[in-house]
Structure 1
Amino acid sequence: AGTAPPEPPAANVDAVGAPAVWARGHTGEGVVVAVLDTGVDVTGIPGAQPSEVADSWRGGDNSWFDPYGTSTTPVDPDGHGTAVTSIIAGRGLSGQAVGVAPDATWIAAKIFDDQGKASTAAIHAALQWVLDPDGDPSTDDGADVVNASWTSGAPGCDLEFAPDIAALRAAGVIPVFAAGNYGPLPASSPSPSNLPGALAVGALDTDGTALPASSRGPADCGGATRTYPHLVAPGAGVTAQSTFGQYLDHAGTSFAAPHVAGAVALLLGADPTLDDLAVEAALLGTATDLGDPGADDTFGAGLVNVAAALDAVGAPDIGVVRGDVFRDTDTDGVRGPDDLPTGGVQVTVTSAGDDGELGTDDDIIDAETVSGPDGRWLVSSLTEGPHRVTLSVSALPSGSVPTTPVAVDVDVVAGQAVEVPFGWRPPRPGSVVVRVFADDGDGLGTGAEPGVAGVVVSVLSAGPDGAYGTADDGDTQSAAADADGLITFDGLPPGPARIVVDSTTLPERGYVSGISAPEVTVVEDDVARSEVAVHVPPRLDPVLYLSTKRAGRANDGTLSYRDEDILVWNGARFEMFFDGSDVGLAATDVDAFTILDESTILLSLDRPFEVPGLGPVDDLDVLVFRADRLGETTRGTFAVYADGSDLGLFGPEADIDALARDAEGRIWVSVRGNPIVGGEILRDEDLHALVLDSTGPETVGELQTVFDGSAQGLVDRSEDIDAAAIGADGGIAVSTLGTLRVGSLAAGEGDVAVCVLDGDTCGWKVTTTARTMGLPTLDIDGLDLPAAGGAPNDATGAGS
């Protein structure tokens, strides 16, 4: 057993729980740590300040590797590698214990040349050297853990060193990497620390918050999306020895990583029989949670706590879930002697969040791991109770078909280890693999986009004759995309096949942004592939909603609209809010509307029309649309809110061409012409409130004039109000049939003018113009503003 250093621990060493492990007699003795860095200075200042790590170097020809051939014994022209090594195995010569595992032994590879540059060839050679430094497989002189406090030059995914990392994990060696200093932006992980099998360490500032520069997740590299980093450790104000015996404070993830490499050495020194999976699971499972509950993309699993990890490996059956990932040769879902292991596949364990339900958005990530070369994976130190274990299908070979459930709910019980196998098979010839992915709107995929789960896709096979609807058609197959957006269809007849998406299963406001029904050719001895691009536009902060008299294009031509649609404008761009053609209104014009809530719209049409699911309606009726979905894919049902004929409206001049809602919940209308109702003329420049005793197909009520347009200067025929809305401040926004002119103010048919009442008199102003919206030929015929009004008269029960 080791002996605890007599010097008091440095604050960063104390923060990771090392002194508590020393007190139990474990100081990393017998463990070999390989440092791949700028080198190590073992000289210090002779006779004045000795090196912290000279005595812990293993020594000999098999303990120093310089791929550039410039040195035969340890040197460090920079100091970076020396500082890293002293954090791992420093002996405490400065009056405080600076090393996490002071009795560990180190070997080193100088992967940076004397000018501070590292070559790909040198790094490959060093990663291979650490496995067998003397080149003799019969001797056991390889490293037990590797520290790599470096990354590539920028965030991104580079698979260059993936085989090297896989070889380390195959040998049971954990490669500990610095997470990178590219934060605080999200998705700022670099390679190779974001590759499967690497253990990436982020940095904490001196106050316990995340160091701003520490790279953040998520990381999507090597076929799996993981939270990133995996752990954090002190990364600011870290005291370590540099060259010439200097003790300096260091900052960055380079100096956080060696805390974890030292922690691995402490655990292996305490129990040399532990494998890499058990050590990694213990460190991740016992880390002190920081930030959001569970693993997150700032702190990962949390601050490494090696004392708690030692407790966990001392009780290996407490809170353990483990299993295999394997190619299921006989597809029976059970790993047998002929089934081949699959390494490098991510497994995630989650528990329920505040809602108490597994499988919802607030689930907490308890642990993530990657299967080893033997297919085995293990997660420990879980709390008792229900957890969900999920396999990342995207990390399997493309088109793989799971033979076991990819998400399994288990009940973790103290004293028991739960086994969860994950089997898969390759796609059979005559298959189609469909990938449903989140698109940025251009309909084009790169293969790196996240999948969209739950979208139901069908494959319609035309069969050998190439014609749909004939006797040799294959049966239609339908399936939902898995968590990675993948679906595999088997047993299809050769010939053309069409991919069809069930739009009702798309995410809210999402739509297919690529080819809506792509075709593939099924080949008997091959696997066909297709993609479905799904775009969910960012939710806009609305400035106004509008419908138009004519079809057109917005957003520099990227958004097409028609006169039956409703658009939302956020002051910079448009988005489809209501697609009328989706609900059967393609042959008519929505010429009046007001939005009651996020799923209810009142509207009127510009002519008598047969509305699907409702029947004939007139242009003087008000309909209520109850939406199941809104946006590029609109779904819902219609009912009658107010029957205009019951209110005395008759003839073409009584067409309702404007709808609004006031703060009291009353619905206001304007009409196209000047019809006579109840012996009085309704003027087209006026607004009238619907005073209703009952709504629905048998409407009881009357119209009362609430805004006299002629009294406010609207006297010309072109000043017929054909769109209206009432703002939160009580201002009455209108657009007119032609140009509105009051005094010096002029507003065209595509502009919005607002009457701000001062007593009984309007102060008019133009708030939005067609030109500012990028649509100089726009003609508005329906208008609304963000919700400000009260609840309307029985809108929710209309027509029921």
Structure 2
Amino acid sequence: RLAIRTATIAGAIVAAACVYDAPVTPHDTNISAATVSTGPSLQIAATATAEPGGRYLIVFNPGRSAAAAIATELSTNGGHLEGLHEQLGFAVVSGITSEAAGRLAKADGVGSVEADIEFALESPSQAEALDASDLGTQSAESPQTALLFARQWNMRAIRADAAWAGGALGSPNVSVAILDTGIDYRWPDLNGRVDLARSISMRPDEDARLHTWFGALNLNPITDLNGHGTIVSSIVASNSNYFAGVTTRTTLFGIKVCTVFNTCSTLATLNGILYAADHGADVINMSLGGAFPKSAAPGLVSIFSRVLNYANRRGTLIVVAAGNEAADLDRNGNIYSLYCNSPHVVCVSATGPTAAPTPVGPFTNPDAVTPYTNYGRSAISLAAPGGGITSLNVLVSGPCSQTALVWHQPPPPTPGAPLPPPVIDGPLCPENAGLFRLSGAGTSFSAPHVAGVAAALVAMMGPGNPSQIRARLQNSSDDLGAPGTDPFYGHGRLNAGRAVSALP
């Protein structure tokens, strides 16, 4: 049973959330030799961090390297080299001023300098306390015995139960990298599933907050202060004590690129993809993203293509969330959608029930296209459960990170003044109050269903063949909507049982 004691939280129940809010126009992020743009942002979901201490992409001229110039600038005026990728023709630096970025733009070997873009990530925020006394004979060998499996319409919708019955539980030799807000690796459903040696934080600002709030606990830097990454991770793989995951044996490792304040660094994500590919990730899950005019950051578009091509050559399958703006990705003009407009990705749209009178159903039409999901015949690869929005009963649920924090944004001190820094109020799901479940809806939750099935397929078919895994996922899906490739379902709704040959 559930002790229905709702945590005190700030903000509304997430309905269509978990990725980016809308196609946006960020600052002009291209840094010329003469000037650094400080023009206003035209929309809400992305900002270019061109302020002092910002993070910048340095794109090299073809066949050139600017490593020496970067080293000289950083040693003379300060800053940090976050990544130097000469083979791919770029570097990422942080902690430098816009003036320093302007100097680097004039350096020998530099083609362009572009400021980082922080995309918004809206996290699930409906938390309920769990009663641990009901935890009994749950087993990772039988995920359907998880305490809250009756609520998990999402696992039944993709026939994960058939995959489990056929023995497809994943393998510890298969790794899925979670690029997100971190992972609560101490939560019972995730304890032992996360490789902490390979996990890494690429957000020094989050590392400082972790130390401030939980320094005495000596936690790994991958610790999740937001909650988003923990629930995403549990969908890919779980010990199935409380919540069943698509697999139970898959190894996870976390790469923190997002913050407690619901922002994700595009350049940290770039570095994170390369880190994951170079550290043995068979699958990367990215339940994050955004959109910007191609003309605003042409170097970034080019570099992302190079990075994703590199990961594909390394044998890594990349699964991404489609986004939640009900936008047609085939008709977005000059807007570039990260990451569904990028090469070699499996882009996942969202399905969810239209109604459920109780938390355990019955669930009406769980394969319905959600009203928030992005779509597009050329963009969407597959559909998977993301959660409905008609009631709490049709959301997707998972573990609430024991270190997730609640925060609020104070208003500007005077009309037209800049917003002050956000303020952290305290824990969302405090460890001393027991365990909590977190619920929400969005394509953020769709993607990890696909990543989990992909991990099960790698365990069956062997590593290093992302194109074969992608084809198997698509060819085994349920063809819903219009026959053939559909703008909303892509090749079809994910079918775990058929993918692993447990169903005809």
Shift of 1:78: 1.0
Amino acid at match of 2:400: S
Structure 1 pair 75/274, CA: closer, same or farther in 2 (3 Å)? closer
* Alignment map for 1:679-694 (pairs within 5 Å): none
Shift of 1:296: 1.3
Shift of 1:12: 0.7
Shift of 1:155: 8.3
Equivalent position to 2:249, from 82, 90, 103: 103
| Matched-pair identity in % | 30
Is 1:283 aligned to residue 473 of structure 2? yes
What CA distance in whole angstroms lies between the structure 2 residues aligned with 1:273 and 1:66? 26
Equivalent position to 2:236, from 57, 80, 88: 88
Aligned to 1:232: 383
Question: For residues 172-217 of structure 1, what are the alpha-carbon distances to aligned partners after superposition, in whole Å with 9 as ceiling and x for unaligned?
Answer: 1110000111215563682222212011000002132111110011
Question: For residues 521-554 of structure 1, what are the alpha-carbon distances to aligned partners after superposition, in whole Å with 9 as ceiling and x for unaligned?
Answer: xxxxxxxxxxxxxxxxxxxxxxxxxxxxxxxxxx
Question: For residues 394-447 of structure 1, what are the alpha-carbon distances to aligned partners after superposition, in whole Å with 9 as ceiling and x for unaligned?
Answer: xxxxxxxxxxxxxxxxxxxxxxxxxxxxxxxxxxxxxxxxxxxxxxxxxxxxxx
Query: What SS class does the counterpart of residue 294 from structure 1 fall into?
Result: coil
Aligned to 1:40: 183
Structure 1 pair 280/75, CA: closer, same or farther in 2 (3 Å)? same
Is the CA contact (8 Å cut-off) linking 1:146 and 1:173 kept in structure 2? yes
Question: For residues 311-351 of structure 1, what are the alpha-carbon distances to aligned partners after superposition, in whole Å with 9 as ceiling and x for unaligned?
Answer: 29x9xxxxxxxxxxxxxxxxxxxxxxxxxxxxxxxxxxxxx
Amino acid at match of 1:233: A
Question: For residues 140-170 of structure 1, what are the alpha-carbon distances to aligned partners after superposition, in whole Å with 9 as ceiling and x for unaligned?
Answer: xx11100000111458794442111111111
Query: What SS class does the counterpart of residue 290 from structure 2 fall into?
Result: coil
Shift of 1:242: 2.1
What CA distance in whole angstroms lies between the structure 2 residues aligned with 1:6 and 1:289? 26
Equivalent position to 2:267, from 121, 124, 127: 121
What CA distance in whole angstroms lies between the structure 1 residues aligned with 2:293 and 2:372? 12
Aligned to 2:141: 3
What CA distance in whole angstroms lies between the structure 2 residues aligned with 1:20 and 1:66? 38
Is 1:149 aligned to residue 287 of structure 2? yes
Shift of 1:248: 2.5
Equivalent position to 2:351, from 200, 204, 220: 204
What CA distance in whole angstroms lies between the structure 1 residues aligned with 2:446 and 2:165? 23
What CA distance in whole angstroms lies between the structure 2 residues aligned with 1:199 and 1:216? 13
Aligned to 1:172: 315
Shift of 1:120: 3.0
Amino acid at match of 2:199: S
Structure 1 pair 89/155, CA: closer, same or farther in 2 (3 Å)? farther
What CA distance in whole angstroms lies between the structure 2 residues aligned with 1:212 and 1:184? 10
What CA distance in whole angstroms lies between the structure 2 residues aligned with 1:298 and 1:190? 16
Aligned to 1:75: 223
Shift of 1:98: 2.6
Query: What SS class does the counterpart of residue 99 from structure 1 fall into?
Result: coil
Is the CA contact (8 Å cut-off) linking 1:156 and 1:190 kept in structure 2? no
Structure 1 pair 115/238, CA: closer, same or farther in 2 (3 Å)? closer
Aligned to 2:162: 20
Shift of 1:23: 1.6
Q: Where does the alignment leave 5 or more consecutive residues of structure 1 unmatched? A: 44-49, 134-141, 219-225, 315-380, 382-800
Amino acid at match of 1:54: N
Shift of 1:63: 2.5
Shift of 1:25: 1.9
Q: Where does the alignment leave 5 or more consecutive residues of structure 2 unmatched? A: 1-139, 211-219, 296-300, 354-364, 388-394, 403-434
Structure (1/2) with the larger helix percentage: 2
Structure 1 pair 298/55, CA: closer, same or farther in 2 (3 Å)? same
Equivalent position to 2:400, from 242, 245, 254: 242
* Alignment map for 1:557-636 (pairs within 5 Å): none
Shift of 1:106: 0.3
Is the CA contact (8 Å cut-off) linking 1:214 and 1:253 kept in structure 2? yes
Query: What SS class does the counterpart of residue 459 from structure 2 fall into?
Result: helix
What CA distance in whole angstroms lies between the structure 1 residues aligned with 2:221 and 2:241? 22
Structure 1 pair 256/156, CA: closer, same or farther in 2 (3 Å)? farther
What CA distance in whole angstroms lies between the structure 2 residues aligned with 1:106 and 1:263? 14
Aligned to 1:261: 451
Query: What SS class does the counterpart of residue 202 from structure 1 fall into?
Result: strand
TM-score, with normalisation over the residues of structure 1?
0.34
What CA distance in whole angstroms lies between the structure 2 residues aligned with 1:230 and 1:12? 18
Structure 1 pair 115/102, CA: closer, same or farther in 2 (3 Å)? same
Aligned to 2:374: 215
Query: What SS class does the counterpart of residue 325 from structure 2 fall into?
Result: coil
Query: What SS class does the counterpart of residue 176 from structure 2 fall into?
Result: strand
Is the CA contact (8 Å cut-off) linking 1:156 and 1:191 kept in structure 2? no
* Alignment map for 1:394-405 (pairs within 5 Å): none
Return the index of the structure with the highest Cα Rg: 1
Shift of 1:231: 0.2
What CA distance in whole angstroms lies between the structure 1 residues aligned with 2:490 and 2:465? 22
Query: What SS class does the counterpart of residue 254 from structure 2 fall into?
Result: strand
* Alignment map for 1:297-336 (pairs within 5 Å): 297-311=487-501
Aligned to 1:790: none
Shift of 1:114: 4.1
Stretch deviating more after TM superposition (283-292 or 72-81): 72-81
Structure (1/2) with the larger strand percentage: 1
Structure 1 pair 127/274, CA: closer, same or farther in 2 (3 Å)? closer
Question: For residues 380-399 of structure 1, what are the alpha-carbon distances to aligned partners after superposition, in whole Å with 9 as ceiling and x for unaligned?
Answer: x9xxxxxxxxxxxxxxxxxx
Query: What SS class does the counterpart of residue 130 from structure 1 fall into?
Result: helix
Query: What SS class does the counterpart of residue 270 from structure 1 fall into?
Result: helix
Aligned to 1:686: none
Q: Which has the higher contact order (CA 8 A, sep 6+)?
A: 2
Is the CA contact (8 Å cut-off) linking 1:159 and 1:192 kept in structure 2? no
TM-score, with normalisation over the residues of structure 2?
0.53
Query: What SS class does the counterpart of residue 449 from structure 2 fall into?
Result: helix
* Alignment map for 1:128-527 (pairs within 5 Å): 128-133=274-279, 142-153=280-291, 158-185=301-328, 187=331, 190-206=337-353, 207=365, 208-218=367-377, 226=378, 228-236=379-387, 237-244=395-402, 245-272=435-462, 275-311=465-501
Structure 1 pair 154/254, CA: closer, same or farther in 2 (3 Å)? farther
What CA distance in whole angstroms lies between the structure 2 residues aligned with 1:178 and 1:161? 16
Shift of 1:11: 1.7
Amino acid at match of 1:235: G
Structure 1 pair 288/246, CA: closer, same or farther in 2 (3 Å)? same
Question: For residues 688-723 of structure 1, what are the alpha-carbon distances to aligned partners after superposition, in whole Å with 9 as ceiling and x for unaligned?
Answer: xxxxxxxxxxxxxxxxxxxxxxxxxxxxxxxxxxxx
Shift of 1:269: 1.7
What CA distance in whole angstroms lies between the structure 2 residues aligned with 1:265 and 1:87? 12
Question: For residues 22-77 of structure 1, what are the alpha-carbon distances to aligned partners after superposition, in whole Å with 9 as ceiling and x for unaligned?
Answer: 2222211121110000111224xxxxxx44212201232x2333342726432111
- What is the number of residues matched between the two proteins? 288
